[in-house]
Amino acid sequence: MLSASELALLEAIRESGSLSRAAARLGKAPSTVSHAARQLEARFDALLFDRRKYRLQLTPAGHLLAQEAARLMQDVSRLGQRVKQIANGWEDRLHIVTDEVLEFETLVPVVRAFDALRSGVSLRLTGEILGGTWEALRDGRADLIVGATNEPPAIPRLRWFELGTMAWVFAVSPRHPLARAQEPLEREAVAAHRAVVVADSSRHIDARSYGVLGGQATLAVPGMRAKILAQCEGLGVGWLPKERVAALLKQGRLVEKRMADPREPNTLYVAWRSDHQGRALAWWVEQLKQKRLAGRLLRGLAFA
């Protein structure tokens, strides 16, 4: 590996094109720079400088040495920063998985606040659906999960708290046949029409779907936004987050239908494992315990 002075010598010669200008730039005598250049060539047993032309240039071997040495020095510098980061209690990286029922946009201010800490921790935010959210924590694919539904399963060293509850409405397009159906809607009336569902992302357990009746046709979509859009377009029916579609109901783009079997609100959870200790995880947990942030996550953004 090159020393800092050797790397500076290569850069000075590459940019200046002469020994005298390189020497002036480095604050050394031309003879000292010339000697250092020959020592470098002897060390690598390769011609690194092309002295045949008026302008001194690096040979292809010299260019390669300069580029790779600069990259290695950057890597060493970054490694030093990471070692210091870990020594100060920060993780190298933090993987946060949110249930798809939440929206990434609501977390943007929190990411900005975390960036302002300049911790050096690499964040990775991904989404899962229903059972896949708990599964990500159990399988080690997540350090922290946000918005998981259903009661916490048996996971070693599990820690959790309730984020809050999410209320639901059964909504259909005003063009859908159920929009004019008599209320309260019975199961038989609903089962005759296709349900729009968000597909469970679980890899190892039976997939779940909320509000689907036995034998009912389904249209599986990749996320809650797609589900809302599909129901606005009359492609199916189903339960939607009440606050998130409030504006659509007010505008008449969706029609709420009273059900004979209402759906209870879902409790959403934040969870992690106690064997993961680090300042980044602790910071995120404390942020998510704040009622204002929890409320924003649960309300979501108005669908447009």
- Coil, strand, or helix at residue 274? coil
Nearest Cα neighbor of 131 from 156, 148, 155 is 148
Angle formed at CA 74 by CA 71 and CA 75, multiple of 5 degrees: 85
Which of the two residues, 136 and 204, has the higher pLDDT score? 136
Band of the pLDDT at 205, cuts 50, 70, 90?
low
Q: What is the pLDDT of residue 71?
A: 80
Q: Which class in CATH covers the domain with range 168-256?
A: alpha beta
Q: What is the pLDDT of residue 241?
A: 94
Interatomic CA distance for residues 182 and 7, integer angstroms: 81
Q: What is the pLDDT of residue 211?
A: 57
| Maximal C-alpha separation, the chain | 98
Nearest Cα neighbor of 236 from 215, 260, 212 is 212
Nearest Cα neighbor of 159 from 278, 273, 277, 285 is 273
Q: Are 243 and 106 in contact (CB under 8 A)?
A: no
Answer yes or no: same fold for 93-166+266-299 and 168-256: yes
Interatomic CA distance for residues 181 and 169, integer angstroms: 16
- Coil, strand, or helix at residue 174? coil
* Three-state secondary structure string covering 225-236: HHHHHHHHCCCC
Of 69-73, 129-133, 179-183, 253-257, the least confident:
69-73
Q: What is the pLDDT of residue 1?
A: 66
Q: What are phi and psi of 162, to 5 degrees?
A: -80, 125
pLDDT digits (tens, 9 = 90+) for 234-293: 999 999 999 999 999 999 999 999 999 999 999 999 999 998 889 999 999 999 999 999
Nearest Cα neighbor of 33 from 54, 46, 51, 59 is 51
Which of the two residues, 115 and 89, has the higher pLDDT score? 115
Q: What is the pLDDT of residue 28?
A: 87
Q: What is the pLDDT of residue 8?
A: 80
Q: Are 149 and 266 in contact (CB under 8 A)?
A: yes
Q: What is the mean pLDDT of residues 5-13?
A: 80
The answer to whether the Cα torsion of 22, 26, 28, 33 is positive or negative is negative
Q: Are 196 and 190 in contact (CB under 8 A)?
A: no
* pTM of the predicted protein model: 0.74
Q: What is the pLDDT of residue 90?
A: 87
Segments of 31-108 assigned E as strands: 49-50, 57-58, 93-99
Q: What is the mean pLDDT of residues 66-75?
A: 76
Long-range contacts of 198-201 (CB under 8 A, 24+ apart): 198/100, 198/101, 198/129, 198/130, 198/222, 198/223, 198/224, 198/226, 198/227, 199/129, 200/129, 200/130, 200/131, 200/132, 201/100, 201/128, 201/129, 201/130, 201/131, 201/132, 201/133
Q: What is the mean pLDDT of residues 169-198?
A: 95
Which of the four CATH numbers 1.10.10.10, 3.40.1710.10, 3.40.50.800, 3.10.20.30 does domain 4-87 have? Answer: 1.10.10.10
For the chain, the domains span 4-87, 93-166+266-299, 168-256
Interatomic CA distance for residues 97 and 93, integer angstroms: 13
For the domain spanning 93-166+266-299, the CATH number is: 3.40.190.10
Q: Are 199 and 225 in contact (CB under 8 A)?
A: no
pLDDT digits (tens, 9 = 90+) for 118-152: 998 999 999 998 889 999 999 999 999 999 998 89
Of 35-39, 146-150, 172-176, the least confident:
35-39
Q: What is the pLDDT of residue 44?
A: 84
Q: What is the mean pLDDT of residues 19-36?
A: 84
Q: What is the pLDDT of residue 182?
A: 94
Residue 215 pLDDT > 80, yes or no? no
Q: What is the pLDDT of residue 152?
A: 92
Q: What is the pLDDT of residue 269?
A: 97
Q: What is the mean pLDDT of residues 76-86?
A: 70
